Chains A and B, each alone.
Chain A
Amino acid sequence: MTDTTIFGLYAAAAVGFGLYGLITNPQPLRKIVAFNLMGSGVFLLLGVVGRRGAAAGFGNDPVPQALVITGIVVAFSATALAVALLLRLFQTAGSATLRDDAPASASINQSGD
């Protein structure tokens, strides 16, 4: 088993951890973090595929590398948008729950609307 394969197995485990956290953690921010962990695992899998494609003097295939760089930036943009949505939800509703039947909180902040 090569070093690259070991990293690939670690990446697969990271995706698994992320999926578990995404389902079981009730806090929305924890779900965002878990989703990022999943994404990081997927990027690492691409890195492993690129590492196996080392050729022509490159240690890692440049095409998957470029895809991952683009992916990291897009993942960050999506995370920032999700966090902004969550903060706005907390600001207007006074709680940050994803439940449909969330009780109306007494500390509703009306100044925002």
Chain B
Amino acid sequence: MTVATILEMVLGAVVLGLGAWTIAARETFAATVGYVAYGLLVPLIWVRLDAVDVALTEAAIGGGLGGVLLLGAAARLRASEPAAAAETPGKIVRLGAAGASVMVAAALSAAVLLLPDPAPTLAPAAIANASATGLANPVTNVLMAFRAMDTMLEKVVLLLAIVGVWSLASDQAWGGRPGPRHQADPHGVFAFLARLLPPVGIVVGIYMFWTGADHPGGAFQGGSMLAAMWLLVIMAGLTDTPPASGRWLRLVLIAGPGVFLAVGLGGVCFGLAFLAYPPTNAKPLILGIEVAMVLTIAVTLGLLVAGAPERSPQR
């Protein structure tokens, strides 16, 4: 057994322990903190699995933005905690749940142990067709070309999610600014960091998006980085969330899926297929879609964390 193997086993055990802690912890806030730590360590497993693109996404969205979302909700729901704790199910339900969980985990473990050998793979097909798009990152190729339909529909899911969140606004706050107005000491450390980090973070985010054509990275990772910087500035009270009724905001929200759909329909018009790119212009077209996508992703993710409108647009 090599050192690397032992390291992996320890890493997996720590991650799994954190996962168990999120379930077993007595307080919701403590469980949420455990989940954030879990979300920040899981990317290390993804790196060990040689999936750096996924590791970046998981760290930025699963650990970072998801953590902010859950921690904020846990803090606001603290008052409901004592009542909920009294509703813990009885021993029979818990035993049954434990039995069902063990069975599911055992079935999945058996499936992992019985996976076919040699494993089926689409990697050779992805590399054989890479020349069609001119992008060197196979994951971006799959996302933007080979399985472009998935990615386009996913943009629609993001749009539907934001419509769902916004429709939870009360009558007075309809079309208003999402979330509470954040206040922070203007001379404090937080406000200082919110001024110091965004210039760096914005450059890193744009670089992650740009380099995604040839190296690990891409529109999701870059977009979530930009969203994180935006949220940092909002939470430090340096700026406010935009009103949900803003025309420009809504245009940005539909830019990603809109451009994607337009290019896809263009493929039909020029005698190819839906979402087929002409081979000579594939790379510029994909980059154009990605530019629109990175903007949409950044704004949508930021607004999803900010939540439903709570203040009327005037305030």
Residues of A within 8 A of B (CB): 3-21, 23-27, 29-30, 32-34, 36-37, 40-41, 43-45, 47-63, 65-70, 72-81, 83-88, 90-91, 95-97, 99, 111-113
Q: Is B200 an interface residue (CB 8 A)?
A: no
Residue pair A96, B84 in contact (C-beta under 8 Å)? yes
**At the interface with chain A, which of B4-12, B232-240, B260-268, B281-289?**
B4-12
- The smallest beta-carbon distance between B231 and chain A, in angstroms, is 12
Query: Which residues from chain B contact A7 at a C-beta distance below 8 Å?
Result: 8, 12, 45, 48-49
Query: Which residues from chain A contact B58 at a C-beta distance below 8 Å?
Result: 43, 72
Complex: A9 Cα to B109 Cα, angstroms: 5
Query: Which residues from chain A contact B89 at a C-beta distance below 8 Å?
Result: 23-24, 26
Query: Which residues from chain A contact B57 at a C-beta distance below 8 Å?
Result: 68-69, 72-73
Query: Which residues from chain B contact A78 at a C-beta distance below 8 Å?
Result: 161
Residue pair B28, A77 in contact (C-beta under 8 Å)? no
Residue pair B112, A8 in contact (C-beta under 8 Å)? yes
Q: Do A24 and B93 form a contact, CB below 8 Å, given A3-B8, A56-B127, A80-B69? A: yes
Contact check: which of A12, A63, A76, A113 meets B66 at CB < 8 Å? A76
Residue pair B150, A66 in contact (C-beta under 8 Å)? yes
Q: A69-B218, A95-B80, A96-B77 are in contact. List 17 more A-B contacts (CB 8 A).
A: A4-B49, A21-B22, A23-B96, A26-B84, A29-B70, A52-B121, A55-B123, A63-B146, A66-B143, A67-B147, A70-B150, A74-B157, A80-B304, A83-B307, A90-B76, A95-B83, A112-B172
Query: Which residues from chain B contact A41 at a C-beta distance below 8 Å?
Result: 19, 108
Complex: A49 Cα to B112 Cα, angstroms: 8
Interface of B: prevailing SS:
helix
**B interface size (C-beta, 8 A):** 100
Query: Which residues from chain A contact B157 at a C-beta distance below 8 Å?
Result: 73-74, 77
Complex: A51 Cα to B87 Cα, angstroms: 42
Interface of A: prevailing SS:
helix
Q: Is B191 an interface residue (CB 8 A)?
A: no
- The smallest beta-carbon distance between A87 and chain B, in angstroms, is 6
Contact check: which of A19, A56, A80 meets B305 at CB < 8 Å? A80
Residue pair A26, B87 in contact (C-beta under 8 Å)? yes
Complex: A47 Cα to B173 Cα, angstroms: 43
Closest to B109 in A: A12
